Amino acid sequence: MVWRRRFIAVLTFLAGLYFLLEFILPPTVPGRTRRGVFLEHSPTVVALASPDGDRIDVEVGPSVEFSMVVRDPTGKLQAKAQRTREVSVGETLNVRTRTFVFGSFRGGSFLDDKGGIVALRPGERVYSDDSGDLPVEPSLIAPGTALKVEVRRAKVVGVRWGSVTLLDGPAGDVRARRTVPLGPNIAVLRERRKGTPDEIEPYDAKVGDLLAVGHTTFLRDHRDTAAQFNSVLGTLALGMGLLSLGVVNGRRLRKRGEDRWVAIAFFVAVVLGVIAGVYKYYDPSTAERSFSDAIVFRLLGPVGSTIFSLLAFYLASASYRAFRIRSAEAGLMMATALIVMLGQTPFGMYLTGWIGEQFKALWLPNIAGWVLRVPNSAVVRGLIFGTMLGGIGTALRYWLNLEKGSAMGGGD
Amino acid sequence: MDNANWQVLLLMVVFSGLVLWKIASAKRGQGLYIRPIPGLNAIEEAVGRSAELGGPLLFHGGVADFTNVQTLAAVGILEHICKTAAKYGNRILVTTAMPVMVPIWEDVIKASFAAAGRPELASQSEVRFISPAGDLTALGTTQVLVDEKVSSCFLFGAYDYTSLLYSEGGQIAGCMQIAGTSDYYQIPFFVASCDYVVMVEELFACSAYLTREPTMLGSVVGQDYGKLFLLLLILTGVICATVFGPSNPLNLYEGILRF
Amino acid sequence: MSWSEYWASGWAVWLGAFCVLAIYSYLFRDNPVYRLMMQIFIGINVGYAVVVQWKDILYPLWWLPMMDGIDALLGCGQGSPYGALWVLVGFLGLLWYFQLSRRYLWLSRIVIGITVGIGAGFTFKSLFGQNIPQVVDSFRPLGPSAVAVQPRRLFSLPPTVVPPLLDEPLLVLAGEREAVAVETLEGREVWRCPLPGPPSGRVRMGGDFVEIPCGPETVRIDRRTGRRVAGGPPIPPEASGQAGTDGGWHAGDGRDRLVKAGVAAPDGGEATVMYSVVAGRLFATRLDADARGGFWASDPGVPAKELYDGGRFVLASDGRSVAVVDASLGSVTARFQTTEAPAWLTVARMADPIYDQATVVAVSRGGRIEGFCAADHKVSRQPAGRLLWRAEAGKPLVWAGTAGGVLFAVGPDGGRSYELPPVPKALDASDYWDNWVFVITLVSVMTYFFFSFRREPRVVTGVRRLGRWLLMLGFGAFFGNTVMSRMSFLLDRLMFLVDDWIKPFFHQIFG
Amino acid sequence: MWRRLAVLDRVPRQTIYLLMFLACGLPFFFDVRLPLYVWPETRAVFEVTDSTPPDKVVLICSNWVQGSQGENWPQYEAVVSHLMMRGIKFVVVAVDSDPLAPQFSERVNERQAAKYGRKYGVDWVNLGMVRGAPLIMASIGRNIKSVFPRDYRGYSTNDAEKLPILKNITGAADFQILWAIEYQPSLDWMVWLDPAGRVPVAFGSAGIVTTSWYPYISSGQMKGMMAGIRGAAEYETLVRNKYGKRYDEEGLRGGRLLVPLAFGHLVIISFILLGNLGMIAKRRAAKEARR
């Protein structure tokens, strides 16, 4: 049915589109990006409301860090640092306003190592790397430990965006000075002598840096999400293998004789596998964990690699049977194979080691090496180029869904 | 290279453009030429031979599923084999390790026998799912070769380490074997043990030549032009490198093709 | 050890050994035990994989964000409400399973299409990233070329009469009448500031200021705005033996010293080192806390009249003869003669962990620029001290220095910046022969895969035949290496049987 | 005479299997050493790895499991033993691998660490497995801690107490070299890990695929590689030649497996030759019979 085909085609196209654009588009919107020599910048100021309702204005600078609380793969909560341009009104963040080195604690206020008083504004608390979710207990910390002043669970109530001043033209000319306002998702890129420019925070720019300031295309910011989407979608098919195998062995179960036992063995094995998988996550030195390890290393390991190792025997007999000089081509192939094989093993040196140093190009390992490095690598490169063009062709056909036939979702 | 610079974009446009252009003109029904691949008349010969010996044909479509291009090429080739088989009236056995592929192979066989006007052959032919394990399937297939007295055997598609098992099995059973894959690690084994081998891209050219299916055809031709472009580029580069030495204008870091 | 102890640990080995032998039994006859093993293997694998993939991927990357998102939507819990969108991904994922039904097969095409589309999307980046260097590497010279390597001219710089201040990204020059700051990427002018008189000493940095001695007074300029600020006290004329920003300095009586930090000490870690010249010998002394005292002593082989700080190297020179000394070992890596007495010596391009690419740049007051190998280069096979390239600034210079592979050479009549070339590979006859073989092979293999050209000249068919032969050669090599892989799987198993099973067992029996 | 030789044309396959078995099995019982020729591809990567400065780490992507342990285990152990002996810090990850991969690598790490008395979190860290290549490779190059919030043992990667090794490690700039060790490592490492191409890439892969790495080595995209067991043995030799006694080779597999490997090759080569002899003999015999 044609509408299905269209529908699938559109989805396929959209899925590919992101990754293509991510590659071919620059990180900031082309037309609307200002480029020039950095002169000065006025800092962004973020207005926060602490959980207890205090209002704090934070001037963004090197020691300020905004972080959002997210879950990590083990389900624990974890702070994820954010760029200033990603801060938006209304979201809840942990904000580090400044850091200092602990000197002493006198009269209810912290003193840094230089003896200066660290004045805490309402809502600010002092934390250390390992104090976790609670403010530090002054009596427990040794002088010299690095501490950070933070506002946790702060709600962003307002952002007053700063600006960057760029010079684009002769130094004397006033018209050449351009003040570019910062804002949500305005990225600042510093150009490098080689390679693509890297994104920096405005306050990291030095006078004389070549900057490009413009609105992001969002594409690069979401690369990790895209990767996540891709792997999740792929992994969601995990049941497929199990199901199709189940169906096959289910049929076997209904048969009589050997097949039935094979099928039963299969299902038992699946159960074993699942148990082993579950126990894998118990801590070591528990009985469950050692059971899982035993299954993995004592059963899965040996059986798996043994099945692979059968190939060596097949290879031996096959090459004995097959590698007959039927044609000149086969002959040439065989000769090369023999040289490479001998070159790989110590026998290569035994056979030709007696040839003196001055002729060491004739040592079998060297001949083999030459074959691999020069003609062979040219052959491989030829194949690679073919594959590259093939790959481009295929990618286009799949992406634009030009493929016909029952196979690729096309014409049913 | 994080983002494409203009050089890369240019190459992208050239290569993709050529392919799309050729696909378009193929769809418009413009006759595109592809030189006959020597392996093709071998197919005819193999089918004829097995007709004389009265055994069925065996076709194995590789170890990958339909998301792999080679499998698509194999589909095209199976269609052709069926049409030829319809002429001589032999039936076809297909073995696979993928439950997902079973319906697809069945469709292909039904459709192409019907198209050739011998639907009854389709019912005699069959698609056998042997085992989800790659090498068990391979060994099972060699078993089939012996049990069914298969006399010609076709291996087309994507292959992994099991290639050897298939082709050696055919050798022992004394079949006439034609193989084609673009997985070049496996080609040596096919070359050594098969009567004819369709190598790397020949596989796609073959399939395009046989089916004249515009997409495949167009992209094969388009890629050809791409290859020609690349070849010329390389020759120019070689000349530049010889004349100007390390500081040639096409050199990677300072030169034109930098990224 | 007693048998009971043996079995306590040995059972697993016996189990493993049994599996191995059971499977090898297949080699002699097809048997049910083998098939059984195969099924068990597949079964365990699948079951295990399902659990692990859920735990490692789906649970953290899909389930948790989704649940958090839903919580956030319902108003409780934190995290972004967008997470709830993962529900849709879940639905998409379900579509995979329609592959099993003939009727709704097409639904599964949706998700397949999406995955394939994504794959197609990043194919482009991967392909081009992998292959463009391949294309360029195929540009092999087929013979020696007449054209020599040259530093590439980047942009020209305003005139300066005294050594400027290079502090990336700024280069501050002082001409007769005004001081000019340019950035070092494209040579764009950042600011200029008029001077009361001709500058008398080198431009130097004092905190946020640039200080330029002009006769009696010192001009202080804010290096951000380029505005002049209240001048400071006059700076005493430069004492000899003081390290300047260009790293070079004068040796008076040959007992002067240059203190520099950041030498990789052989014990790993940083060393602050003082170099001193006594009677032509070069001494390095460590000043850092952990290891005081002697570091190394070395005989550069030239009467070290002048020393230069070359990062990983120390450069000693006397007139035209130069010696390069490894700063952390004290070994002399190269000795060479320049054509004119160098006024400035620096080392550029030191990216490579081994010496490769490290190039000594010697610049004379007359404007002659030369590059030499700082040491034996393994990859490019250039010997130490070989002259790599030469260029003429064509005008008198007052200063030259490098930053990140770029050379700045400036003088009263203006200056210029050069991108220093990478060290070219030293090629001999055999290399050219190899290149011929390489190019011919590549071309003929590519020609072999032309399909769509109606009429081809005779030569093409010939080349194609050659291509097929060379392909066979390549496939031969493939086979040769295949044998090695396949066999090592077997060896691994045999090693298990011998070392873990047979040997301990016999040991147990015979002691 | 030809007729007698013609027997060689069809030697029963069990015979070949048996000979293979013996040729590969017997050498394990005797301690034979054979002269080894070190290929430049291995030497290059050894030198880069060996010259790791203290402020950098070696990044190892270890994706091998039982399937390919025959070749990858020796390779991985050769590298790890070298790093452990030198006290070079290294970070182990697994990308798109079999979920078992971290378990296999960690077993080797612990054995080598015990030998040289190295400490987890100080001298090495195992970050476990992620999916989503090639995109995830780019993420690793930008900020490895954001990709792996916790390591394989569940410690937070920002926890400087537990994992001091990661304290100053962020991304590509801090990696001395990338070792990708698996049956067939992904070429995407060259493209995605560090777009600026500062991190040299080294592959330890199955012998079969090494054939197709040579073009990438000549173009400089890849620094070098270990070719199968031979590569592992060469790497061990290089370390031994440089550090002699300090290097404890007990339990290393490369050098040990090399000898039976050689004999196995010998069997295959001789059978290929015999097979052809047999074929010729058969033809001759047929001709004689016709006369």
pLDDT digits (tens, 9 = 90+) for C466-477: 999 999 999 999
CB distance A262 to A269 below 8 Å? no
How far apart are the CA of B255 and the nearest CA of chain A, in angstroms? Answer: 13
The set of chains that have 3 or more CB pairs under 8 A with D is A, B, C
Tell me whether residues C97 and A240 touch, CB distance under 8 A: yes
How far apart are the CA of C326 and the nearest CA of chain D, in angstroms? Answer: 15
Which of residues B13 and A297 earns the better pLDDT score?
A: B13
CB distance C326 to C350 below 8 Å? no
Window from A354-358, A383-387, B196-200, D185-189 with minimum mean pLDDT: A354-358
Does residue C199 have a cis bond before it (omega within 30 degrees)? no
CB distance B152 to B50 below 8 Å? yes
What pLDDT score was predicted for residue A229? 87
Arithmetic mean of pLDDT over chain D: 88
Tell me whether residues D195 and A316 touch, CB distance under 8 A: no
Residue C166 CB burial class (10 angstroms; 0-12, 13-18, ≥19): buried
Spatial separation of the C-alpha atoms in residues D125 and D91, rounded to whole Å: 5
Task: Locate the chain A residue with the closest alpha carbon to C404.
Answer: A193
Of B1, B2, B185, the CB nearest to D208: B185
Amino acid at B141: T
D208 and B CB contact within 8 Å: yes
Spatial separation of the C-alpha atoms in residues A194 and A191, rounded to whole Å: 8
B213 and A CB contact within 8 Å: yes
C115 and B CB contact within 8 Å: yes
Interface probe with D: pick from B2, B164, B234, most Cβ of D within 10 Å: B2
CB distance D260 to D24 below 8 Å? yes
Spatial separation of the C-alpha atoms in residues B88 and C203, rounded to whole Å: 94
Of B8, B191, B246, the CB nearest to C128: B8
pLDDT band at A378 (very low <50, low <70, confident <90, very high): very high
- pLDDT of B13 > 70? The answer is yes
Chain A and chain D share a number of CB contacts under 8 A equal to 160
Q: In 3D, which of A311, B129, A326, A181 has the Cα closest to residue C487?
A: A311
Tell me whether residues A377 and D214 touch, CB distance under 8 A: yes
What pLDDT score was predicted for residue C262? 58
Spatial separation of the C-alpha atoms in residues A38 and A189, rounded to whole Å: 11
State mean pLDDT over B151-161: 91
C56 and D CB contact within 8 Å: yes
Of D53, D208, D268, the CB nearest to C485: D208
What pLDDT score was predicted for residue A45? 93
Q: Which helix (H) or strand (E) holds A225?
A: helix A223-235
What pLDDT score was predicted for residue C291? 58
- pLDDT of B24 > 80? The answer is yes
- For residue C348, the Cα-to-chain-centroid distance in whole angstroms is 14
Contacts of D154 in chain A (CB under 8 A): 74
Of A208, A401, A408, the CB nearest to C181: A208
Tell me whether residues B185 and D195 touch, CB distance under 8 A: no
C237 and D CB contact within 8 Å: no
The set of chains that have 3 or more CB pairs under 8 A with B is A, C, D
What pLDDT score was predicted for residue C251? 38
How far apart are the CA of A253 and the nearest CA of chain B, in angstroms? Answer: 15
Q: Render pLDDT for C206-245 as a digit per residue (tens, 0 to 9).
A: 777 888 888 778 888 988 888 888 766 555 554 433 333 3
C331 and A CB contact within 8 Å: no
Q: Render pLDDT for C369-401 as a digit per residue (tens, 0 to 9).
A: 999 999 888 778 889 999 999 999 888 999 998
Between residues 364 and 423 of chain C, which touch chain B (CB distance below 8 Å)?
A: 419, 421-422
Contacts 24+ apart (CB under 8 A), C338-344: C338/C362, C338/C364, C338/C368, C338/C370, C338/C372, C339/C368, C339/C370, C339/C390, C340/C364, C340/C366, C340/C368, C342/C317, C342/C370, C343/C248, C343/C397, C343/C400, C344/C246, C344/C248, C344/C308, C344/C399, C344/C400, C344/C401
Interface probe with D: pick from C437, C485, C490, most Cβ of D within 10 Å: C485
Interface probe with A: pick from B107, B164, B234, most Cβ of A within 10 Å: B164
Tell me whether residues C56 and D47 touch, CB distance under 8 A: no
What pLDDT score was predicted for residue A267? 92
- pLDDT of C88 > 80? The answer is yes
Contacts of D12 in chain C (CB under 8 A): none
Spatial separation of the C-alpha atoms in residues A48 and A87, rounded to whole Å: 11
The set of chains that have 3 or more CB pairs under 8 A with C is A, B, D
Spatial separation of the C-alpha atoms in residues C399 and C126, rounded to whole Å: 45
CB distance A306 to C24 below 8 Å? yes
State mean pLDDT over B30-50: 86
CB distance A12 to C114 below 8 Å? yes
What pLDDT score was predicted for residue C78? 62
Tell me whether residues B234 and C422 touch, CB distance under 8 A: no
Interface probe with A: pick from C23, C125, C182, C472, most Cβ of A within 10 Å: C472
How far apart are the CA of D140 and the nearest CA of chain C, in angstroms? Answer: 16
Spatial separation of the C-alpha atoms in residues C239 and A231, rounded to whole Å: 66
Tell me whether residues D195 and B2 touch, CB distance under 8 A: yes
CB distance D109 to D124 below 8 Å? yes
What pLDDT score was predicted for residue C241? 38
B247 and C CB contact within 8 Å: yes
Tell me whether residues A322 and B192 touch, CB distance under 8 A: yes
Contacts of C451 in chain B (CB under 8 A): 34-35, 37, 201-202, 205, 220-221, 224
How far apart are the CA of C495 and the nearest CA of chain D, in angstroms? Answer: 7
Contacts of A192 in chain B (CB under 8 A): none
Cα angle at C346 between C344 and C348, to 5 degrees? 145
CB distance C441 to A382 below 8 Å? yes
What pLDDT score was predicted for residue C239? 42
What pLDDT score was predicted for residue B178? 93
Q: In 3D, which of B246, A368, B113 has the Cα closest to residue C473?
A: A368
Contacts of A408 in chain B (CB under 8 A): 66, 72
Contacts of C129 in chain D (CB under 8 A): 188, 190-192
Task: Locate the chain D residue with the closest alpha carbon to C435.
Answer: D218
Structure tokens at B167: 């082709």
Structure tokens at C313: 């190297």
CB distance D206 to D27 below 8 Å? no
Spatial separation of the C-alpha atoms in residues A92 and A95, rounded to whole Å: 9
Contacts of A220 in chain D (CB under 8 A): none
Interface probe with A: pick from D69, D95, D135, D163, most Cβ of A within 10 Å: D135
C85 and A CB contact within 8 Å: no
D30 and C CB contact within 8 Å: no
Amino acid at A14: L
- pLDDT of B163 > 90? The answer is no
Contacts of C134 in chain A (CB under 8 A): 381, 384-385
In the Cβ-directed half-sphere of C92, how many Cα atoms lie within 13 Å? 23
Which of residues A161 and A243 earns the better pLDDT score?
A: A161
Interface probe with C: pick from A155, A233, A311, A324, most Cβ of C within 10 Å: A233
Interface probe with D: pick from B168, B185, B193, most Cβ of D within 10 Å: B185
Arithmetic mean of pLDDT over chain C: 83
Q: Which residue is it, tokens 């095209």?
A: B76
What pLDDT score was predicted for residue A408? 46
Q: In 3D, which of A351, A398, A408 has the Cα closest to residue A20?
A: A398
What pLDDT score was predicted for residue A409? 43
Q: In 3D, which of C183, D261, D150, C421 has the Cα closest to residue B245?
A: C421
Q: What ipTM was predicted for this assembly?
A: 0.88
Contacts of D208 in chain B (CB under 8 A): 185
- If one counts every other C-beta atom within 10 angstroms of the C-beta of residue D10, the result is 12
Distances, alpha carbon C77 to alpha carbons A77, A225, C82, in Å: 12, 21, 13
Tell me whether residues B193 and A322 touch, CB distance under 8 A: yes
Structure tokens at C214: 């002009």
In chain A, the percentage of residues whose pLDDT exceeds 70 is: 95
Q: Render pLDDT for C294-335 as a digit per residue (tens, 0 to 9).
A: 778 888 888 777 788 777 788 888 888 999 988 877 889 899
Residues in chain A, total: 412
